[in-house]
Amino acid sequence: MALTLEGLRCFVVAARLPTFRAAARSVALSPAAFGQRIRQLEEELDAPLFHRTTRAVALTEAGLRLLGDAERVLAAADELRHVGRGAPGIRPVELVLGTRHELGLSWIVPLVGALERDQPGLTLHLYFGSGPDLVMRIRSFALDCAVTSSRIVDPKLDELRLHEEQYRFVGSPALLRRLPFRGARDAARHTLFDTTEELPLFRYWRDAEGGIDSLRFARVVRLGAIAAIRDRTLGGEGVAVLPEYFVRQDLRRKQLVPILPKVRPLSDTFRLVFRVEDPRRSLFVRIAERMRASPLR
pLDDT per residue, tens digit, the chain (297 aa), is 568 888 888 988 888 777 888 888 888 899 899 999 999 999 999 999 998 876 777 888 888 888 878 877 887 777 676 555 555 555 678 899 999 999 999 999 999 999 999 988 899 999 999 888 899 899 888 899 999 988 888 888 899 999 999 999 999 999 999 999 999 999 999 999 999 999 999 999 999 998 887 789 999 999 999 999 999 999 999 999 999 999 999 999 999 999 999 999 999 999 999 988 787 888 999 999 999 999 998
d(CA 270, CA 296): 10
**Tell me, what's the pLDDT at 83?**
57
Residue 15's contacts (CB-CB under 8 Å, 6 or more residues apart) are 59, 63, 67, 141
- CATH 3.40.190.10 for domain 167-266, yes or no, is yes
Q: Do 108 and 147 contact (CB within 8 A), yes or no?
A: yes
Question: Domains of the chain: which residue ranges?
Answer: 5-84, 93-165+269-292, 167-266
Q: Do 259 and 170 contact (CB within 8 A), yes or no?
A: yes
d(CA 246, CA 263): 19
DSSP state of 226: H
**Tell me, what's the pLDDT at 262?**
92
Among 68, 54, 74, 81, which Cα is nearest to 15's? 68
Neighbours of 48 (CB within 10 A): 15
Among 242, 263, 247, which Cα is nearest to 183's? 263
> Amino acid identity, residue 185?
R
**Tell me, what's the pLDDT at 82?**
59
**Cα→Cα distances 286→168, 195, 281, 290, Å:** 31, 32, 9, 6
Among 246, 204, 245, which Cα is nearest to 226's? 246
Q: Looking at domain 93-165+269-292, what is its CATH homologous superfamily?
A: Periplasmic binding protein-like II (3.40.190.10)
Same fold for the domain at 93-165+269-292 and the one at 167-266? Answer: yes
**Tell me, what's the pLDDT at 85?**
58
Among 271, 224, 225, 227, which Cα is nearest to 97's? 271
Fold for domain 5-84?
A: Arc Repressor Mutant, subunit A (1.10.10)
d(CA 73, CA 41): 15
Q: Do 124 and 115 contact (CB within 8 A), yes or no?
A: yes
**Tell me, what's the pLDDT at 84?**
58
Among 194, 282, 293, 208, which Cα is nearest to 241's? 194
Residue 106's contacts (CB-CB under 8 Å, 6 or more residues apart) are 245, 246, 297
**Tell me, what's the pLDDT at 186?**
95
Q: Do 273 and 97 contact (CB within 8 A), yes or no?
A: no
Count Cα neighbours of 140 within 13 Å in the Cβ-side half-sphere: 13
Q: Is 2 helix (H, G, I), strand (E, B) or coil?
A: coil
**Tell me, what's the pLDDT at 88?**
54
**Tell me, what's the pLDDT at 2?**
67
**Tell me, what's the pLDDT at 140?**
83
**Tell me, what's the pLDDT at 86?**
54
